[in-house]
Structure 1
Amino acid sequence: MNASNATYCDLDQFSKDFRGYHVYLSLFVCTFGSILNILNVFILSTKQMRCPTNFILTSLAVADVLVMLEYIPFAYLHDKSTTSSHYFTYNFAAFIIFHALFTQSFHFISCCITIVLAIWRYIAVKFPQNNAKWCNGSRTKITILLTYILCPFICIPLFLSIDITEMAVSIDAAGRLIPRPASNQTNLRNATIYFANYKQNTILKDISLYVYGVVIKLVPCILLTALSTLLIIEVLKAKERRKKLLRPDAGNGVVKRKLQQRHLDKEKQADRTTKMLLAVLLLFLMVEFPQAIFGLLNHIIGEKFDKECYQPLGECFVT
């Protein structure tokens, strides 16, 4: 730790080691995940499967597919050697900015759609008598459309805070960057490299870090944690209701027992659906919470923490 002069983290070696596996893991996860999500879209879009919950799941699958398909070329191109001047072209710097904004926008859409899914499920469990009215197909489609429109607007500060920076460097005949050329090196030539970087505007950068760390990462995690807790409470209440219905009662007639059985079957089906969606929410939280914490620390501590801790783990997070 001392040898590397790291203040918060010493993850350079981990980052270098993981980089060798990152492209293969990314290509596998993105290809496999895209295929599964495309299948989900086709299945959930069939006539017999159309319902508000499946509309939400379809829109979630679409957002995830777009993120993964866009990440495939980025993972391949980003795997090239960063010591070569060919890596630092203007076009690639522009692609890096596009990748960052596209990925964050659709990832945020995915987060918000997941929150909508949790809210819709909570209403279905807590207020079953109003579910058909409050969460009908039209309202669900409008909510999804607004989510797809508004989320990219919230990400605008990220776009405003990033710019392409150019720098004059020395390169050798093979195009490799020479950071500190020796005085006796004669086969060098000057070149200009381009890379994506934060603008010098401190206010824009602070707003960008706040939007990323708090609005895009932390707030969805807090909301999903609260909604997951409420759903778990409702599942436990439903379990108690089933116990009461199953309790022997000598006064029950045949008709009443049939009604109870019908209600019990509906409760079991709703319970299974809720548990499945809870599993989705909890898996989502397991992935998102570490990024949310690091994003918040980025905003609080600043650039040094970002360079020492977040950036070395960046490829690990996105994989």
Structure 2
Amino acid sequence: MGLAAADVLVMLEYVPFAVYEYIVLPERRLFPYGWAVFVLFHMHFSQLLHTISIGLTLTLAVWRYIVVRFPQCSRIWCTSIRCRVALVSSLLTAVLACAPSYFVFEIREQMLFENNGQELLYHVDASKSLSSNDANGQVFLYRLNFWLLGVLVKLLPCIVLTVISCRLIQALYNRAKARRRLLRPIDGQELPNVGGTERRADRTTRMLVAVLLLFLITEIPQGVLGLLSALLGDCFFRSCYHSLGEIMDILALFNGSVNFILYCSMSRQFRMTFGRLFKPSIRVSKWQPACTHQTDVQSTQKKFIRCERKNLLQK
């Protein structure tokens, strides 16, 4: 829920910014102080919420791994209290990671002589003190900002999520193999097909791979550009990073919007919940797993296996 809320707020807040940037500004070419304040707010707000979304995505991946790898301990480790702690930790970590940018960027004034008059323009840019000779502290904040955003917020989560996803896929296949060995025929007696577990593991694996690829495609370009901005300085930021800002915005919005489609298309529980919320008059039985009979069969199989093994042990 926290992840969905963060993505929704990022996309909703982008709507007025897009209206100003692509509709109002090209027509009127006005740069008032109020819109400059809004652009500065948009920059910090979207970055903060997107960082929170990244932290929650990593937390969700860790919890998936705990549930799959340590199912006996998952109810003890993944409690509601720890869920709230994870939410608060993601929020505080995002605030600290984005803190340097609050001091690096500011609203700047520019006097323009046009039509025999003067126009005062306001725009968001890096602090003027970055270009001065005695701005060592400000330059440090500038580089620290891009190191944090490029490495800690972007590249490091990509590495961690890749490792966790690979371990999750391995754990899922190991569980499927273990269940297949448990349900193998005894004394040549044939058992019905029990491939449902493997199919569920395959579906979960595909969903994890899709989430991982989407996250990597979205975050790696931003992380690389942020790292290069920290290494190469303000010149690279103005010539390359700033020019590619719209592409990075599109990637961030794409990530937030596709998550819903991805989960609903690959998870029956999401589809059933969506149907109950927004289609209360339509029965969602076709989305429910037709596994009542299947469950009875599997329960009978397990009882049969336990009895057979008990008889073998007694013999």
Aligned length: 241
Tell me whether 1:189 sits opposite 2:126 in the alignment.
Answer: no
How high is the TM-score relative to the length of structure 1?
0.67
| Contact 1:238–1:271 (Cα < 8 Å) also in 2 | no
| Contact 2:111–2:119 (Cα < 8 Å) also in 1 | yes
Structure with more contact order per residue of length (Cα contacts < 8 Å, sep ≥ 6): 1
Task: Report the more deviating stretch, 131-140 or 304-313.
Answer: 304-313
| Contact 1:125–1:270 (Cα < 8 Å) also in 2 | no
| Contact 2:144–2:230 (Cα < 8 Å) also in 1 | no
Q: 3-state SS of the aligned residue for 2:187?
A: coil
Output the amino acid matched with 2:120: T
**Residue number in structure 2 paired with 1:241:** 178
2-side partners of 1:265 and 1:137: how far apart?
A: 30
Match of 1:210 among 122, 126, 147: 147
- Change beyond 3 A, Cα 1:312–1:81: farther
Q: 3-state SS of the aligned residue for 2:125?
A: strand
Q: 3-state SS of the aligned residue for 2:123?
A: strand
2-side partners of 1:140 and 1:216: how far apart?
A: 21
Structure 1: runs of 5 or more not aligned:
1-57, 173-187
Tell me whether 1:98 sits opposite 2:19 in the alignment.
Answer: no
Output the amino acid matched with 2:53: S
How far residue 70 of structure 1 moved from its aligned partner, in angstroms, is 0.2
How far residue 150 of structure 1 moved from its aligned partner, in angstroms, is 3.3
How far residue 128 of structure 1 moved from its aligned partner, in angstroms, is 1.0
Match of 1:137 among 77, 80, 84: 80
- Change beyond 3 A, Cα 1:238–1:194: same
- Change beyond 3 A, Cα 1:233–1:85: same
Tell me whether 1:231 sits opposite 2:174 in the alignment.
Answer: no
Q: 3-state SS of the aligned residue for 1:169?
A: strand
Q: 3-state SS of the aligned residue for 1:234?
A: helix
Quote the RMSD (CA, aligned, Å): 2.8
Structure 2: runs of 5 or more not aligned:
130-137, 251-315
Output the amino acid matched with 1:143: A
Q: 3-state SS of the aligned residue for 1:79?
A: helix
| Contact 2:66–2:74 (Cα < 8 Å) also in 1 | yes
How far residue 118 of structure 1 moved from its aligned partner, in angstroms, is 0.4
| Contact 2:154–2:223 (Cα < 8 Å) also in 1 | yes
Tell me whether 1:169 sits opposite 2:112 in the alignment.
Answer: yes
| Contact 1:121–1:274 (Cα < 8 Å) also in 2 | no
**Residue number in structure 2 paired with 1:315:** 246
| Contact 1:228–1:282 (Cα < 8 Å) also in 2 | no
| Contact 2:176–2:197 (Cα < 8 Å) also in 1 | no
2-side partners of 1:308 and 1:64: how far apart?
A: 29
1-side partners of 2:120 and 2:26: how far apart?
A: 14
How high is the TM-score relative to the length of structure 2?
0.68
Q: 3-state SS of the aligned residue for 1:87?
A: coil
Match of 1:300 among 223, 231, 237: 231
- Change beyond 3 A, Cα 1:279–1:99: same
Q: 3-state SS of the aligned residue for 1:129?
A: coil
Output the amino acid matched with 1:90: Y
Question: For residues 63-142 of structure 1, what are the structure 2 equivalents within 5 Å?
Answer: 63-80=6-23, 86-142=29-85
